[in-house]
Amino acid sequence: MIIAQAIGGILDYGVMLTYFVVVLGFGLCFGRYTKSTKDFFFGGQRFAWWLIAFSCVATVVGSYSFIKYSAAGFTYGISSTQTYFNDWFWVPVLVLVWIPIVYYRRIQSIPEYMEARFDKPTRIAATVIILIYIIGYIGINLITLGKTLQTLLGWQIMTGAAITAVAVALYVYIGGQTAIIMTDLAQGIILLIAGMGLFAAGIYHFGGFGDFWALLPQSHKYAFSDFADPPEFSFIGIYVQDALANTGALMLMHQGFIMRFLSLKSVHDSRRMVVAWILVLTPLAAIATSCGGWIAKALVNNGELTTSAGDSFVKAAHFLCLPGLFGFVLAALTAALMSTADSLINAVSAIFVNDIWKPYVKREADDKHYLVVARITSLVAAALGLALVPVFMKDTIYGAHGMFTAAVTPPVLVAIFLGITWRRYTPVAAFTTITGGALLVAASFIWPDALVGPLDFGMGPGSYKFMRALFGLIASASLGIAVSLFTRPKPLAQIKGLVAGTQLDAMRQYKGAEPNRRPGKIAKVVVSVDPALEEGTVIVSRKTLDTMSADPGDLLYANHARWYYGGLRSVHVKAGPPAADANTDHITMNPADAEAARFADNQPITLEKIL
Amino acid sequence: MSRVWPIICQFGVGGLLCIVGIVCGLRGRYLDLSLARDRRFMVIFAAGFIGLLVLAAVFTFLAPHLPEGATP
């Protein structure tokens, strides 16, 4: 590991290293909350919306984001943010259909949904494609950081990728989902502060936004690129590849996000989480990741900097930041990598345990066995991602990412989308969509002009890597719809809770009774521990039940009174019959429940009706 | 028009996607507009949609053509 052509100084690397160690330690210290596979994969399903929102944005912003979007911002201007414009349109499908289905039906992975909604062959096909998709994503993230460290330190790409892969795999191995969520909170904040700080520093350097804006070429000032030009960054190419295929995949088929949604304390919190994530944090992330390129372009036009598009983020940050602060920006890059790769590694582990190990290798083992398998799989997933790094070295990062997304996501995405929105969609059609769609997409690599060419909007072969997503979506959807019309759908009774229109059935199945949707308030109560009480059931007064608009049998969420724990100290319980004292502000619970939430006797907590 | 088609495509296709999600929510009354919190969600969602549309319009028709030194 020879340090050559290093851009930063010793202080910068000191700050970066310190940050790296602190975040790693932060993640590892949450390892003590991981005692079961539920903790390892879903963090115990107890976290507040704001924690998950930060976690999601940290996952969306990969290490490639700063490099990729700054390069696009340098070359094409503010239209580099157009990919972030797409997420909001998926919100209704996500919040009103998909999250209620996976949460209330306790679906732990996409392949599991596929078997419940369709059949076992569809589950197997989905497992294969999703594992390829996620492991490929890990590889893309590792190669990007390897390239960045090469620019900064002169390391071989493989060396930088290997060091970060080991570090991330280590804290996922120990801390699981809880470590991921807590480190992502820190990393999400840091990468937003670093990116926005860089933007503010740039504006200050130029003497105000007007002066900065004037230094950008006219072509750099549009929200969207030209509809069908240039082929490698046309609006329609980016739109079909990112807005439809990539964003849809992130929302519906990305196991890492499914696990985040399942980590929420309730489905209702998903609405707040999505608004905070997509409407507030994502625009900030769009600016944070792209602004390096815009500022570098303005600096170049002002005669102050020389850089290529690929190095624009690092060069602009180095130009504007004082020693030490530059190290902080570099730390944000590292944060972006770790916060994306950790989720992906955990996701591979979840699919392997739930969809391969449990059903086919060892069916009836205890949870500790599966936890060990999950941890080992985390290490293997990181190693597989690392093995893909040399493969992705052959193309540009953006190109590799686009090509990969366009190739593997459409068939599964279409199958999920039709599966949750269309009752008539049949198991045979779903299997055909996934396998036939994947084969057709593969064929488009052999005969690109014949299959993708007619959909290229006149842009030619340079656009195929993006437009292949459109071909994949159209081909997969056509197959799915056509086959559905000639085959028999599953009876409605078998797919209740798995398809739109039956979300209330999923709620009933989750609760085991009729859901209580009356609006209520959060009650403040004091813990009393009683070993005689049944585990999972609590006793509160009629007054407390009325405050929450709750009835005996309703699902409640008991949480530490201090909001900033974000659900780390909390437990889901069921309301028992009202206490004899109608006005007491005490909540009586079993010692096991109190211990699960780390509540002490006489501790004030909050209590909320979930369902 | 090469700058206008992206807005039409983005918000047209995006709007269709939204309609699919909302209709799927309304079917089976999971999205129950008689509940205040569901109405609140829809208002926030519509505001987000319109806000993005306004932002796209500003950075297509106004900001790129500002005279030097002016801010959008």
Is A388 in CB contact (< 8 Å) with chain B? no
Q: Is A93 on the interface with B (CB under 8 A)?
A: yes
Task: Calculate the CA A32 to chain-centre distance.
Answer: 23
Q: Is residue B63 part of a domain?
A: no
- Write the CB contacts of A181 (distance below 8 Å, at least 6 apart in sequence): A43, A47, A51, A52, A55, A260, A263
Q: What is the pLDDT of residue A450?
A: 95
Sequence-distant (≥ 6) Cβ neighbours of residue A283 within 8 angstroms: A81, A84
* Position B20 in a domain: yes
Q: Is residue B42 part of a domain?
A: yes
Band of residue A4 on the pLDDT scale cut at 50, 70, 90: very low
Whether the predicted pLDDT of A166 surpasses 50 = yes
Model pLDDT for residues A31-67, shown as the tens digit of each residue = 777 778 888 887 778 889 999 998 888 888 866 688 8
Put simply, the answer to whether A275 touches B48 (Cβ < 8 Å) is yes
Over residues A375-384, mean pLDDT: 90
B62 within some domain: no
What are the structure tokens assigned to A69, written together?
Answer: 């979007």
Residue A603: pLDDT over 90: yes
| Structure confidence at residue A398 as a pLDDT band (50, 70, 90) | very low
Average pLDDT of span A295-314 = 91
Proportion of chain A above pLDDT 70, given as a percent: 96
CATH number for the region A10-486 comes to 1.20.1730.10
Nearest chain A alpha carbon to B16? A89
A236: its two tokens: 């329609």
Residue of higher predicted confidence among A166 and A34: A166
Residue B34 pLDDT greater than 50, yes or no: yes
Q: Is A420 on the interface with B (CB under 8 A)?
A: yes
CB proximity A86 to B under 8 Å: yes
Q: What is the pLDDT of residue A2?
A: 34
Confidence at residue A478, expressed as pLDDT on a 0 to 100 scale: 97
Q: Does A519 touch chain B (CB under 8 A)?
A: yes
What local confidence, expressed as pLDDT, does residue A1 receive? 33
A604-609 and A570-575 strand pairing: unpaired
The C-alpha of B39 sits at a distance from chain A's nearest C-alpha, in angstroms, of: 12
Interacting residues of A347 by C-beta distance below 8 A, sequence separation 6+: A134, A254, A255, A256, A258, A259
> What are the tens digits of pLDDT across the range A486-519?
999 999 999 999 999 999 999 999 999 999 999 9
Does residue A230 have a cis peptide bond before it, meaning omega lies within 30 degrees of 0? yes
Question: Which of B30, B58, B66 is facing A96, going by the closest CB pair?
Answer: B30
Search chain A and give the residue with CA nearest B64: A221
Question: What pLDDT is attached to residue A544?
Answer: 94
Q: What is the nearest CA distance from A229 to chain B, expressed in angstroms?
A: 9
Give the per-residue pLDDT at A46. 85
Q: What is the mean pLDDT of residues A588-599?
A: 92
**Residue A259: predicted pLDDT:** 86
Q: What confidence score (pLDDT) does residue A63 get?
A: 63
Among A9-13, A263-267, A300-304, A427-431, where is mean pLDDT lowest?
A9-13
Which fold is adopted by the domain A516-609?
Answer: Barwin-like endoglucanases (2.40.40)
Q: Would residue B68 count as lying in a domain? A: no
Q: Which residues form the domain of B23? A: 5-54
Return the closest-CA partner of residue A98 out of A250, A281, A283: A250
> A10-486 and A516-609 share one CATH topology?
no
How wide is the angle at C-alpha A231 spanned by C-alphas B58 and A458, nearest 5°?
105
How far apart CA B70 and CA B72 sit, in angstroms, is 7
pLDDT at residue A243, as a whole number: 85
State both tokens at A315: 């060069």
Say yes or no to pLDDT of A338 above 80: no
Q: Is the residue at B45 inside a domain? A: yes
Angle separating helix axes A63-76 and A325-352, nearest 10 degrees: 120
In tens, the pLDDT along A173-232 reads: 887 888 888 888 887 888 888 889 999 999 999 999 989 999 999 999 999 999 988 888
**Residue A116: per-residue pLDDT:** 95
- Going by pLDDT thresholds of 50, 70 and 90, the confidence category of residue A401 is low
Across A148-169, average pLDDT: 80
Which residues of A are less than 8 Å from B27 in CB distance?
A: 500-501
| Number of domains into which chain B is organized | 1
Are B64 and A221 an interchain contact pair (Cβ–Cβ within 8 Å)?
yes
Nearest residue in chain B measured CA to CA from A81: B56
Structure ipTM over 0.90, yes or no = yes
Phi-psi sector, A465: left (phi>0), alpha (psi -120 to 50), beta: alpha
What is the average per-residue pLDDT within A161-184? 82
Quick check: B68 pLDDT over 70? no
Asked if A160 and A149 touch (Cβ cutoff 8 Å), the reply is yes
- Is residue A602 scored above 80 in pLDDT? yes
The percentage of residues in chain A with a pLDDT greater than 90, rounded to a whole number, is 49
Q: Do B68 and A100 touch (CB under 8 A)?
A: no
Our measurement of the distance from residue A289's CA atom to the centroid of its chain's CA atoms, rounded to an integer in Å, reads 17
The encoded tokens of residue A395 equal 């193309």
Q: What is the mean pLDDT of residues A558-565?
A: 91
The rounded mean pLDDT for chain A is 87
Distance CA A27, CA A46 (A): 18
Instruction: Flag if B56 and A88 touch (Cβ within 8 Å).
Output: no
Nearest to A235 among B6, B30, B36 (CB): B6
DSSP secondary structure of A325-360: HHHHHHHHHHHHHHHHHHHHHHHHHHHHIIIIIIII
Q: Which residue has the higher pLDDT, A191 or A296?
A: A296
Give the residue-averaged pLDDT of A227-253.
89
Taking residues A425-441, report their average pLDDT.
94
Residue keyed to tokens 């459409």: A410
Q: Measure in Å the smallest separation between the Cα of B46 and chain A Cα atoms.
A: 10
What's the full length of chain A, in residues? 611
- Encoded amino acid at A11, one letter: L
**Contacts A–B by Cβ distance under 8 A:** 139
Secondary element (H or E) of residue A570: strand A570-575
